[in-house]
Chain A
């Protein structure tokens, strides 16, 4: 067996190449109890008992045990796991005879997934840090870029003046003027806009209301308004524009082009 530390990341990651059952047992126990991500590859068979029951005959597979208590058994083909447990399962690792047994069970549902290895190719115990968001289509930043690129996504005649304008309580996503030259403050959300978002926009509005007596519009841009935000929006005299991240991502696809106005 060889133990490696991962290149460029000596934090607390470990890979065991062809460990014995005993070595693998120590590594898996150590990993799951410290809430690390554990990957085991080897020859194994799987029994599942719960709402249904299944058996997977011996073969070489990849098993993943995640810190949130989800477990996945992957065969060498197909994208979906052949067996799995959703988050919240409890892992129990044991040596049974000459084999390594890993059970992932969910007490409430009385579901048990048991994977038994008789030969282990590799064990990896990984301390993975991941706080990134996953965006299916466009992030709020992308939505902002799309509106700046094609301002009539907001409304016809809208002209942006400044993006990310710093004001006392934060940054205004987009500031511009509408077709009647009325100052317009735009706050963008990629999820259904809540009362909180409405209040955030109102705070930005207050900055300008204190400054002058001229008319000013506030527009909240989001795929939809969350329940309860409608009333507040109306009370505060703010407006809502429905815009989905998907539409924005379509617009951005076209964006990498220059505009003709640069050549006039």
Chain B
């Protein structure tokens, strides 16, 4: 059995929203200590590695190993209906293959039920990459640079060159460039074993970064030339990491 309780929904909702930009249907692997989700988007371009410890919740009950497969977009629609001053209880009703969402405020309760799906069997491996450079940066700064890039292109180049971290885009409409030197206040850390640059589809990157901004203040980007990027968005509790495959030859 699996059941959690939250006095406020917003933080949890923001996280589900961040998952929903990548995952259509996802299987949460739940045990006594945490809930985890590792899933790719349908076109296998992006992956999310998500983990939330039991302490995140006000109450957390899990007996044994639990697998909970949901349509994440549908799940988001339901928890979007929860008001922020409502106490919410989420429970896996295994017998009826339903997820029950209980909202309570004063003497008034609302109850939603949504279907739990058959678990997806495909094991998702982690990409094996040796990253040559990393940048720890404010999520807001990254988001701004990505929005700048959408003005001119559908692709964005992320680059570590010497002591500089760069996000740039070039297209028919012009170009956009953000540069952070090592001593920038927005760039918290820059590690360079070797210069690295790779280009990514903006629509994915924009969806991801827009959705995580509400949950994460700081991101660590790890990079190697023409390899997937790893984006670790720091959470007060838990883990939210995305991998995104590069575009070659654009």
Listed in ascending order, the chain A residues whose CB lies under 8 Å from chain B are: 149-150, 152, 251, 253-264
Given contacts A253-B154, A256-B201, A258-B248, contact A263 B45 (CB under 8 A): no
Q: List 9 A-B contacts (CB under 8 A).
A: A253-B154, A253-B203, A256-B201, A257-B45, A257-B247, A259-B45, A263-B127, A263-B128, A264-B127
Residues of chain B within 8 A (CB-CB) of A150 are 42-43
Q: Is B200 interfacial (CB 8 A cutoff)?
A: yes
Closest to B227 in A: A263
**CB distance B245 to A259 under 8 Å?**
yes
Q: Is B26 interfacial (CB 8 A cutoff)?
A: no
Within the complex, the shortest CB–CB distance from A160 to chain B, in Å, comes to: 13
**CB distance A258 to B245 under 8 Å?**
yes
**CB distance A260 to B243 under 8 Å?**
yes
A263 and B44 CA atoms in complex are apart in Å by 11
**CB distance B44 to A261 under 8 Å?**
yes
A253 and B206 CA atoms in complex are apart in Å by 14
Extra A-B contacts (14), CB below 8 Å, given A254-B201, A257-B204, A264-B128:
A150-B42, A254-B45, A254-B203, A254-B204, A255-B43, A256-B155, A256-B249, A259-B43, A259-B45, A260-B40, A260-B46, A260-B47, A263-B128, A263-B228
Q: From residue 22 to 68 of chain B, which have CB atoms closer than 8 A to chain A?
A: 40, 42-47
Q: Is B174 interfacial (CB 8 A cutoff)?
A: no
Given contacts A149-B43, A150-B42, A150-B43, contact A257 B127 (CB under 8 A): no
**CB distance A263 to B129 under 8 Å?**
yes
Closest to A263 in B: B127
- Of the candidates A149, A251, A257, the one whose C-beta lies within 8 Å of that of B245 is A257
Residues of chain B within 8 A (CB-CB) of A258 are 45, 245-248
A145 and B126 CA atoms in complex are apart in Å by 26
Residues of chain B within 8 A (CB-CB) of A263 are 127-129, 227-228, 245
**CB distance A256 to B246 under 8 Å?**
no
Residues of chain B within 8 A (CB-CB) of A255 are 43
Within the complex, the shortest CB–CB distance from B165 to chain A, in Å, comes to: 22
**CB distance B42 to A257 under 8 Å?**
no
Interface centre among B45, B203, B228 (most CB of A within 10 A): B45
Residues of chain A within 8 A (CB-CB) of B246 are 257-258
**CB distance B43 to A251 under 8 Å?**
yes
Residues of chain A within 8 A (CB-CB) of B227 are 263
Q: From residue 224 to 250 of chain B, which have CB atoms closer than 8 A to chain A?
A: 227-228, 243-250
Residues of chain A within 8 A (CB-CB) of B245 are 257-260, 262-263
A239 and B155 CA atoms in complex are apart in Å by 37
**CB distance B128 to A257 under 8 Å?**
no
